[in-house]
Each structure stands twice: as C-alpha cells, then as structure tokens.
Chains A and B, each alone.
Chain A
Amino acid sequence: MKSICFYFQVHQPYRLSSYRFFDIGAHDQYFDDYANRYIMQQVAEKCYLPANEVLLGLIKKHGKKFKVAFSISGTALEQFEKYAPKVLKSFQKLAQTGSVEFLAETWAHSLSALKSKKEFEEQVKMHTRKIHELFGQKPVTFRNTELVYSNEIGEMVYNMGFDTMITEGAKHILGWKSPNLLYCSASNPKLKLLLKNFRLSDDIAFRFSDRRWSEWPLTAEKFLSWIDKIDGKDEVINLFMDYETFGEHQWAETGIFDFLQAFPNLVIEKGEYSFKTPSELSKELQPVSQLNVPYPISWADEERDLTAWLGNELQDEAFNTLYSIESKVRKIKDEKLTTQWRYLQTSDHFYYMCTKWFSDGDVHKYFNPYSSPYDAFINYMNVLSDLVSRVEKMSAAQPKRTTVKKKKQEA
C-alpha cells in the first residue's frame, strides 16, 4: 500500500523595524514588536487555530489512520509563547494524540548550514531541546531551512544523530528518478532522504485558488484521482508545504479548509493509501538508491537553488557581514546580543533582498513587507551596522587573553 506523507512548515520571522542610519548607535530596538505581534495574531486566527482544529478533528475521527508532521521554527515557537499562547496549546494538543511528528530544524530558520557548522549545530540543538520541552518528543527527522540540502549538509545532519532528512524532489537532481520513493545520501548512505512531490504539493499550496488554472476548482476527488495515476512501483507521496497555505496564502473563502478535511476523509474511506509520518517511512521503506547533491538545492522557484536568498551582491554582502562577526559574538557571550544576531540570520531577511522576481513572482511580493529589495537591504544593513559596532565595542572592552597571561607572568 502506498503512503501519503503530510509535512507542514510553520514559521514566522522577527520582522525588522524601520531602522534608519541615524538610529545606528542610538538604540538597538531592531525588531518591530508591534508588527510581529499583529501578524502572529492575524495568522493565528486565520490559519494556525482553524487548521489545527481541522487536523485535531481528523485525528479524533480516524485515530492512528491519520498522521501529519510539523516543523516549527524556533522564532515561531517563541512568538507563539509571547503573542499567541493559544496556538502553542493547540499544537500541544495535537502532540498528545501521538499522531503528529515534530521535526528538527535550525532555531532561527537560518541558512547557517551554508556558512558555519558550529552555529548550525548549536541552533539545531537549541531547537531540538525546545521541541522536547514543549511537545515531549525528541526529533529524529531533520528538515533544513527552505529544504536546503547538499551532500555536505547531509553529512553534518547525520553526524548530529538524525537518520532521516527531508528535501526537495528537484528535477535536476532526480532526472528520470521518481520523487515518490525513499532515497539515501551519497555522502552517507545511512542518512535517508524523503523528497517533496512538488507538483502535487504546489497544486495545493500555490494553485488551489487560481481561477486561471485549468484544473480549478480542485476537489478532494480530483486530487486523489491524480494520486491514483502515480506509477505502481512508487511508494510514498510527500506533500510538503507551508502550513500558512491554509487560511493565509489560500484564504478560508477559497474552500481550502474544506479540502484539508475532505481529502483525508476520502483517502481513509477508500482505504487504498495510508498516512505516514517521515520517521515511520524511514523505518518501513528501503532506500532505492543514492542521491548525489554536490551543490545545495532548495524548495524555491523553478531553479530549486539558493538564489532566492543568496547570490546577488546585496544578499552576499549582508550574509558575509553577518557571519563575519560570529567568533566575536561567541566570545562576548552576551545573551541579548547573541539572540539579536540569531534573529538576523532568519532566511526571510535575505529573501526580501532578492532581485530576480522583478519580472514575475506575485507569490514573492505577497510575503515581502518591503517595496523593493534595495529598501530591504538598506534597512537590514543599518541594523547590522549597529550590531557590528556594538560587537566591536564590547569586544574591545573585553580583557585580551595575551595581556592577561603577561600580567600573570609579571606577577
């Protein structure tokens, strides 16, 4: 029997306040608390609470026959605690059913895996601890920010104790291979890989309400009929998407919640597929072959590469400057400073600076609070400049090891 695996990504960044150059050195209120609270509460009402209710209802109705997986970024968890504790409680209720797997990711929804192994590992540990603390599970499956994956990242992830990772079923990696099977990493075959079926996932996440789409309106019956057409040798259909798809990207009025309810009901009623979580699939299935991914892939855009976040001059300057202060930030060991530095690592900030969507991309505009990547960059760099100058100051104020030694010798 083929399986269907739902994994939902839950994430909210800490959005920056409008921080002008004359604020540099004047204050360190980098984050827009008002906007962050407002957006969190909006999304909670429109998406998280109603969607969780639908899932909880399905699990109550069908017991172990319905399962899903979540990955919730640390910055989202923290903002639930601060701004929407009701949402956290409802996720905890879901956790208690035993039908929900929570995945591990980086604390700050960062791209640290591409730049600093140390920072990456630290953030993953922070996140794992938090998931355990809140949901009573120790994650065994890893999901990297934006599904970014490469051989090298796979190796790091396996060495941290995860045996399964989720990534994109990128065509340029798969070639003729099917995304609907379990694979393993070429650099370490013990790490199993589950791949997103992007066509079916995006039918829900991006195309569901698009009236120009020839398949509109999408019904549970139609969607299941597409799954029925999938090759008999395939084993699992991975439907990976942002959780905000439900009620936020696709509004309630489009019927997205009805779909979320109707599709699992229909699948279970017909009994031809079973819902599984990533860790279950990893145990049950045999990897069919190795996947060699020398250059990082992601789940974004046609290219499925990193160019949504890194690659243009703006993004690279911001990213390199951010990580150039890492060792100093560590030495200073100031909690507030370190936290702010981490919040600035969130991938969204770099996404706002992307210039490749000038020609197309309504999807991207929707998520972008800045009217242009240049505005996003200037604001971010003003904040980062302040952080850098604080780091320099605090770093200079710290006693230097060499001088301490000398003094000891003198004494």
Chain B
Amino acid sequence: MFGWEFPPHISGGLGTACYGLTKALMKADVDILFVVPKMYGDEEPERIRLINASDVSVDVRDEVYKSHENKISFMEIDSTLLPYASEEEYYHLVEQLESGISLEQLNLHTQKFKFAGGYGKNLMEEVRRYAIVASAIARDNEFDVIHAHDWLTYLAGIEARKVSGKPLVVHMHATEFDRSGENINQSVYSIERTGMDAADMVVAVSHLTRNVVINRYGIPAHKVITVHNGVEPPRDTSSVSIKKHVDEKIVTFLGRITYQKGPEYFIEAAHKVLQRDPNVRFVMAGSGDMLPGMIRRVAKLGMGTRFHFTGFLKGDDVDRMFGLSDVYVMPSVSEPFGISPLEAMRSNVPVIISKQSGVAEVLNHALKVDYWDVDAMADAIYGVLHYSSMHKMFSKHGKAEVENIKWDQAGIKVKEIYKQLIHA
C-alpha cells in the first residue's frame, strides 16, 4: 500500500482514512506492507514494522519496530511530500528546508506559508523519485495487490505494477477538482488520469467522487467502485474539561480555510443569522490560504465581536471546540467524503453539511444544503438554534448513526475487490 501520511502526523482526513482502512483490512486477515514518504518515529510503534527506504537510494533496510501481529509493515522514504500542499506552498517549504530548517521545526500543521504564485517543479520530482523507490520496493517484496492512495502515489503504483505484474488499485480520496475547483493543475490531473487508466480498479470514497472520476477523467464506469469511508471509534475525551464562558449559542466551522472548504459561505450565512439574532457567536477554527481574506470580510461586515478565529486546532482542542458548539457547519464546495461532521455528531453536535460532500450520502440525521445557498444555510443554522426539538432529534439519532458507519464494512468491500483482481 502506498500512502504518505499516517497518524499522528496528519494534515487532513487522508491519513486518518488510510489508518482506518489499514486496520480494517488487517482485521479481515489481509497482510499489509505500508509505504510512507516520511515517518516521525511515534506512529504507534508497538503495532507496526517500519522499513526505511532512505532518500532516492534503493537501499531498503529492514525493520525498526516489529508489530505483535506482523501484519502491517511500514516503509519510509525520506521526502518532503505534503499531501495537501499546493505546488506553491511546496515550493516555499522546500526553499525553507534548503536554507537549513528541519521539517520538524516547520510546524506543518499551521501551514503559514506565503504564496509567491510561482511554479516549482520539485513536487513532481518528488513524485517521480517516490515512483523509482516504489519500483525497487516492488522488486524486493512479496505481495498480491498494489493499492495506491491519491495522486502522489499513483506513479509509484504504476511502477510497482510494471515490475511485479500484480494488479493495481488506485484510491481516490480527493480529486484535483476538489482541491482546486476549475483551475486545476494540469500535471496533477494528468497523473491522476494516468494512474486511473493504468489501474485495474479505482476506488472512490463516495458516489460524488465516483461521478467525477467517470465524467471528468473519462474512466469507464465498470472499473470504478464506491467504498464509503468509515469512522474511527471515539478517542477518550473524558479528561477534556469543557467550560462555556459565554451565554450565546456557538456555531462552528472547523477545517482548512481554503477554497475547497467554502469558508466564505459560512461567513455570509453568519451575517444573515446575526442580523436577526445577535445572541449567537460564530467560530472559524483552522488555518489556510484564505484566512486573511476571511478576517477582512468579517471586519467589513462589522461582526467582529460575534465572529471569532481560533487558528489551527488539534487533539483535545478539537474535542473542546465540539463540546462548546451548538451547531457544526461544513459548507465544503467539494468534499469527496468529509469525516469531521461525523466527529461532531459523535459529540452530540447537530451538523449542517453541504450537499457537495460524500458524507452526505451516508448521513440521514444531518441538515444538507447546497454550499452556495447561503439563505438555506442561514435558515438551517437558525432552525437548529431556535427549534428545540431539532437538538433533541440530532442527539438522539445522530450519535447512533455515526457509530454505525464503520471501517470494517469498508475493509470487507476492499478485500472483495482484491479477491476479484487476484482471481481475474
């Protein structure tokens, strides 16, 4: 399996998804060799076997940690691949690294990179470097199926397939259209397309993504299968103390403040709600390239005393934020799946999600609006805050619904795909 991030070092839903799927597959008796570009040494050491492929060299050393189950192995390729960095971000990151700053020093989660609008080729070089290493790994290891997660690993998957002749599954967690809207990066698009063309099967995380794959990449429908993500069992949050110091109801946006997440629609909806009911507070938690613009917009609308920015939150702070929230809003323009509303629901927080999200396909007890329909979004927020039975309904059914969305089902489906390919 080719991925590039794994808990706890994740910058988005992808690492969580790979982790969940891997565990479910292990449960279903599938042995996994997991290749990641960069490891930090604290990835659940008792469970995993780490193999370090250092730099471009094809020297694959063996085992640092041994899993008690011996089912999953890790390989590390030292690179600076960042799943959610744009090429511009990447370019600047690499510049900083070259000036001697280490990856660890560069707190990647905050993503405080300034954009020059330049075009760096390095990311593509990394991707190709990864592919070369993959080819070596494929030569030196035994396996039945190759599974590559998202475009950065597709070339690696293709190389591994060439060397081994084993079937290739590529997993679409997010497409270039999700990340960039219509202004897609042609090189990324073409890698995605090449990967899917070469693949024996494409797994999409939602019907929404499946349709994009079929319609915008021209992949034949018969080789694209939807496997909805699951959700991890809850962390123990009993130690997280939650004290609300304000009387007002709190409406929360939590995610990267980027085009894909639709933060501007949240702000416009907030404005509509505040015009009618000033006793509400809005929180935008996260960071991203659109943050400065969002702060300006809130100031311009004159709602600064009611609208708060927290910056990037993680760990207990996320749980605390959910604990304080009366409504969670995910107005994503394009969300292949979207795990955060599930986390909110598990904390008994009613959620409003955009219809342009894959998670909308698996949820009943959520309000669904078009991301651009600010009126509907505002109306949904107002409704949850003012009509008491909604809160009752959501806390009664929402949590149970989320607890039924399990990775195990995804694992079983993926295993079926493997079986089909092996026997084909």
Residues of A within 8 A of B (CB): 20-22, 24, 312-314, 316-318, 355, 358, 371-372, 374-375, 377-379, 381-382, 385
Contacts and interface: CB of A to CB of B under 8 A. Distances in A.
Contact of B368 (A21, A24, A371): A371
Contacts of A379: 379
A371 B389 CA distance: 19
B390 A377 contact: yes
Contacts of A374: 365-367, 380, 383, 390, 393
Contacts of A312: 393
A21 B276 contact: yes
B396 interface: yes
Nearest to B352: A374
A333 B196 CA distance: 69
Chain A to chain B: the 3 pairs with minimum beta-carbon distance, closest first: A378-B383, A313-B389, A317-B389
Contacts of A375: 367-368, 380
B367 to A, nearest CB: 5
Contact of A20 (B379, B389, B392, B397): B379
A358 B364 contact: yes
A20 B368 contact: no
A314 B390 contact: yes
In which size bucket is the chain B interface? 20 to 34
A355 B393 contact: yes
Contact of B396 (A313, A316, A378): A313
A47 B272 CA distance: 43
B130 interface: no
A355 B389 contact: no
A20 B376 CA distance: 7
Contacts of B392: 313
Contact of B272 (A22, A314, A377): A22
B6 interface: no
Q: Which among A21, A313, A316 has the greatest number of chain B C-beta atoms within 10 A?
A: A21
B239 interface: no
A21 B274 CA distance: 12
Contacts of B380: 374-375, 378
A371 B382 CA distance: 18
19 contacts: A21-B379, A21-B382, A22-B275, A22-B375, A22-B378, A24-B276, A313-B390, A313-B392, A313-B396, A317-B387, A317-B389, A355-B393, A372-B367, A372-B368, A374-B390, A375-B368, A377-B383, A379-B379, A381-B387
A372 B363 CA distance: 11
B395 to A, nearest CB: 10
Interface in B382-424: 382-383, 386-390, 392-393, 396-397
A385 B389 CA distance: 14
Contacts of A355: 364-365, 393, 397
A21 B378 contact: yes
Interface string B360-378: 0000111110000001101
A313 B396 CA distance: 10
A379 B367 CA distance: 12
A368 to B, nearest CB: 14
B150 to A, nearest CB: 30
Contacts of B368: 371-372, 375
B207 to A, nearest CB: 16
A324 to B, nearest CB: 14
Given A374-B393, A378-B382, A381-B386, 11 more contacts: A20-B375, A24-B276, A313-B389, A314-B387, A316-B389, A372-B364, A372-B367, A374-B365, A377-B383, A379-B379, A382-B379
B197 to A, nearest CB: 36
Nearest to A372: B368
Given A21-B378, A358-B364, A372-B364, A382 B393 contact: no
Contacts of A314: 387, 389-390, 393
B208 to A, nearest CB: 15
